[in-house]
Amino acid sequence: MQELVNRAKELLADGTVVRVLGWKAGDLPYNPEPAYFTSAEELDNFVYNGFCGANLSKYMIEASKLEGKTMVCLKPCDTYSFNQLIKEHRVDREKAYIVGVGCKGKLNIDKIKEKGIKGIQSISGAEMSDACDTLTIQTLYGEKTCSYAEAMLERCHVCKGKEHMIYDEIIGESKDTKDAERFAEVERIEAMSPEEKFAFFRNELSKCIRCNACRNVCPACSCRKCVFDSTKFDTAQKANVDSFEEKMFHIIRAFHVAGRCTDCGECSRVCPQGIPLHLFNRKFIKDINEFYGEFQAGADSEARGPLTNFTFEDCEPSIVTERR
Amino acid sequence: MFKIAKENLSALFSKIAENNELILPVKVANQTNFGYWSEEADVDLDTLKTVKSAKDAFFPQSENLYTCTKEDKKIKITPEELQSQNFVVFGMKACDIKGVEVLDKVFLADPVDTFYAARRAHGTIVALACHEPEETCFCKVFGTDCADPVADVATWMIDGELYWKAITEKGEALTKAVESLLVNADEAKVEEEKAAIRAIVEKLPYSDLSLEGWNGDVLMEKFDSPVWEELYKPCLACGTCTFVCPTCQCYDIKDYDTGHGVQRYRCWDSCMYSDFTMMAHGNNRTSQMQRFRQRFMHKLVYFPANNDGMYSCVGCGRCVDKCPSSLNIVKVIKAFENQGGNE
């Protein structure tokens, strides 16, 4: 982490960048927040550890409108989002100095708390320099331990790899933390009967409180004004008028980001009700892979997406395929 | 003082549900929220904090006000009926109960909100003391004692037994209705439990948070502080903090076209949203900094200014737990302390 801070100070000092976008230490052992730093003194509060899960790509939409360059810290999976945002003309590559930061998997505090660990006073083992095997947690109710892998975010179990897709320089080592099949959960749901599927999603989505955290954190949701925020549209954002509406909101959103979603997992990370929202997107990704060939959104910043690139050879999923 | 063994709780819930709707912490798809009791419900009294507070029991996230239907050339307006069924909210924590006190100030002040008042009149609150408070809790800062909650009935879960103490008339009535299931108990164990809880509360990291400088008289000084400009930046403008909050009480009124009529409903609103308080002349707050500032000014300055110094934060810590950007009211209070925003 010190190497990152030192480099940030250098880049600020030599005028390469005018601000640094990273994470600021929180007031609990696990709640650092995304933050801008404009001076060496401010960088004293800079932190980069296992709890820095936030994907900073989306913040670059606003940072691209500011004067001067921003040094932005992107983890390998965050760089897919950044590429996709370049492709959609939502960020300015010239305004970003991308430091690809090392990543050994990011932590989900809820996973730790699910184990009954509470009254947390300090956590060791979450530093990037650590081996990232075991977390030792001091609590008001005694010392606890938890394996690092078990406390990781879902997305880290299906890690896209340790390579950064776009960067100006790389600081720190990364580790491929994949230990599960990316589409296993989707396949499990596909195998369900329609009634089971409906029950599964009704159960999950009935928890939705329409806080819009999934939408607001999503790098693919970058519309200036969301249709669900419109005062002139019947589907106002704030409430579920009936039990179908919360499903509709999420299904529409999944359609809207289809072919553009990089599977960064931020939607599921931020959902206060723990809804596995990434499953919708992953189903689309799986279908797109099957229909149009393997495609990973954000692997580069130029290739046309499968849903925006018409060819006569395109398959026609749905009824048309059956007719042929 | 009475008690009942934990394994008999389902009998207790059945008994309560004979004459009341029963609302209590229920686990659905791995998350615990207040919900209606049924034989099949997965009741979860072990999770300290439900994701949402118990606010829905008195002020639901979404409720119909009236329905308009067309009959020939006339429009028929059917008002929604007020709550007339008695109900019990079981397992509310001291912070959420304080949250209801805050809501009372808003909805029971003139003009009285009849929907809310009907629910308050028919609701009985059974509180549960906080067996193991967590690091995000700071109810003590607002003068709440989570070891000794004040409601219609107070309960403590100690070593597999629920201790039960009626406090109000409503509580006495409920106790009478279920007393066949309760056995007499002495208070010694409860006193021990209270002492243990209070000892933990003393050690919580936020228990010494200082509210100095936050009151109803510092409006312009706080409003104009440059600190907000820095604080709001990571805010995603989602409504998580407002929707999990036990005291956020702003709502919007909207019409829903059912295809053959109109449902007029109200639903929680969030000051974090861009169309919040949008009206004919435009929008009151056009930037996220202003929206962010609004939420905390309301909790710590405007509300106390209008309600004899009562803050509209109760220290439940849900926003600390749930903010996607790890922002929260504690960080705001601390930032003003550290960065000289109080000058």
- pLDDT digit string (tens) for B136-158? 999 999 999 999 999 999 999 99
The label of the residue with tokens 């010392």 reads A143
Please provide the average confidence, as pLDDT, over all residues in chain A: 92
Q: A135 and A123 in contact (C-beta within 8 Å)?
A: yes
Residue A150 region by backbone torsions, left for phi larger than 0, else alpha for psi between -120 and 50, else beta:
alpha
Q: Which of residues 9-28 of B touch A (CB under 8 A)?
A: 28
Q: Smallest CA–CA separation between A210 and chain B, in Å? A: 8
Enumerate the residues of chain B whose CB falls inside 8 A of the CB of residue A274.
29-31
Q: Which of B33, B268, B320 sits opposite A238 (nearest CB)?
A: B268
The CA distance from A54 to A60, in Å, is 13
Kindly write down the DSSP assignment for every residue of A172-213, as one continuous string: S-------S-TTHHHHHHHTS-HHHHHHHHHHHHTT-----H
Average pLDDT over residues B126-135: 97
Q: Smallest CA–CA separation between B37 and chain A, in Å? A: 16
Furthest-apart CA pair in chain B: how many Å? 70
Which pTM does this prediction carry? 0.94
Average pLDDT over residues A240-247: 64
What percent of chain A shows pLDDT beyond 70? Answer: 94
Furthest-apart CA pair in chain A: how many Å? 67
The CA distance from A239 to A128, in Å, is 41
Q: Is residue A285 over pLDDT 90?
A: yes
Q: Please give the structure tokens belonging to residue B144.
A: 């709440």
Contact A217/B at CB under 8 A: yes
Inter-chain CB proximity B234 and A206 less than 8 Å? no
Instruction: Examine residue B111 and say whether the peptide bond preceding it is cis (omega within 30 degrees of 0).
Output: yes
Average pLDDT over residues A267-284: 96
Q: What is the DSSP letter of A107?
A: B
Q: Is residue A236 over pLDDT 90?
A: no
Count of H-run helices and E-run strands, chain B: 12, 14
User: Which own/partner contact pairs does A241-244 have at CB distance under 8 Å and 24+ positions apart?
Assistant: A241/B62, A241/B256, A241/B263, A241/B265, A243/A202, A243/A206
Kindly list the domain boundaries of chain B, sorted by start residue: 2-203, 219-338
- pLDDT digit string (tens) for A43-81? 999 999 999 999 999 999 999 999 999 999 999 999 999
Q: What is the DSSP letter of B226?
A: T
- pLDDT digit string (tens) for B4-23? 999 999 999 999 999 999 99
Inter-chain CB proximity A211 and B240 less than 8 Å? yes
Q: What is the DSSP letter of B298?
A: I
Structure confidence at residue A241 (pLDDT): 59
Inter-chain CB proximity B238 and A273 less than 8 Å? no
CA B181 to chain centre: 29
Kindly write down the DSSP assignment for every residue of A287-301, as one continuous string: HHHHHH----TTSSS
Average pLDDT over residues A143-151: 96
CA B188 to chain centre: 30
- pLDDT digit string (tens) for A173-207? 999 999 999 999 999 999 999 999 999 998 999 89
B274 vs A15, residue with greater confidence: A15
Inter-chain CB proximity A241 and B237 less than 8 Å? no
Element (H, E) at A79: helix A76-87
Q: Which of residues 137-166 of A touch B (CB under 8 A)?
A: 140-141
The CA distance from B127 to B97, in Å, is 8
pLDDT band at B284 (very low <50, low <70, confident <90, very high): confident
Q: B231 and B327 in contact (C-beta within 8 Å)?
A: yes
Beta bridge partners of A120: A139
The label of the residue with tokens 């390469």 reads A16
Q: Please give the structure tokens belonging to residue A294.
A: 């393997």
Residue B247 region by backbone torsions, left for phi larger than 0, else alpha for psi between -120 and 50, else beta:
alpha
Please provide the average confidence, as pLDDT, over all residues in chain B: 95
Phi/psi of residue B160, each to 5°?
A: 75, 10
Q: Is residue B190 over pLDDT 60?
A: yes
* Intra-chain end-to-end CA distance of chain B, in Å: 50
Q: What is the DSSP letter of A18?
A: S
The CA distance from B254 to B262, in Å, is 10
Q: Which of B62, B234, B237 sits opposite A35 (nearest CB)?
A: B234
The CA distance from B224 to B231, in Å, is 13
Nearest CA among B58, B97, B243, B323 for reference residue A207: B243
Inter-chain CB proximity A217 and B236 less than 8 Å? yes
Handedness of CA B322, B328, B329, B330 (dihedral sign): positive
Kindly write down the DSSP assignment for every residue of B289-301, as one continuous string: HHHHHHHHHIIII
Structure confidence at residue B343 (pLDDT): 42
Inter-chain CB proximity A231 and B275 less than 8 Å? yes
Q: B253 and B265 in contact (C-beta within 8 Å)?
A: yes
Structure confidence at residue A42 (pLDDT): 95
- pLDDT digit string (tens) for A207-218? 999 999 999 999
Q: Which of A141, A212, A275 sits opposite B132 (nearest CB)?
A: A141
Q: A83 and A301 in contact (C-beta within 8 Å)?
A: yes
Contact A40/B at CB under 8 A: no
Enumerate the residues of chain B whose CB falls inside 8 A of the CB of residue A35.
233-234
Sequence letter at residue B112: V
pLDDT band at A239 (very low <50, low <70, confident <90, very high): confident
Nearby residues of A124 by Cβ (< 8 Å), 6 or more positions away = A130, A135, A136, A137
Nearby residues of A286 by Cβ (< 8 Å), 6 or more positions away = A183, A186
Element (H, E) at A323: helix A319-323
Residue B113 region by backbone torsions, left for phi larger than 0, else alpha for psi between -120 and 50, else beta:
beta
Structure confidence at residue A319 (pLDDT): 56
Q: What is the DSSP letter of B85?
A: S
Q: Closest residue of A to B56, CA-based? A: A209
Burial of B323 (0-12, 13-18, 19+ CB in 10 A): buried
Q: B59 and B249 in contact (C-beta within 8 Å)?
A: yes
Nearest CA among B21, B43, B133, B136 for reference residue B91: B43
Enumerate the residues of chain A whose CB falls inside 8 A of the CB of residue B334.
27
Instruction: Render the burial of A90-107: b for 16+ CB within 10 Å, e for the rest.
Output: bbbeebbbbbbbbbbbbb
Q: Closest residue of A to B331, CA-based? A: A27
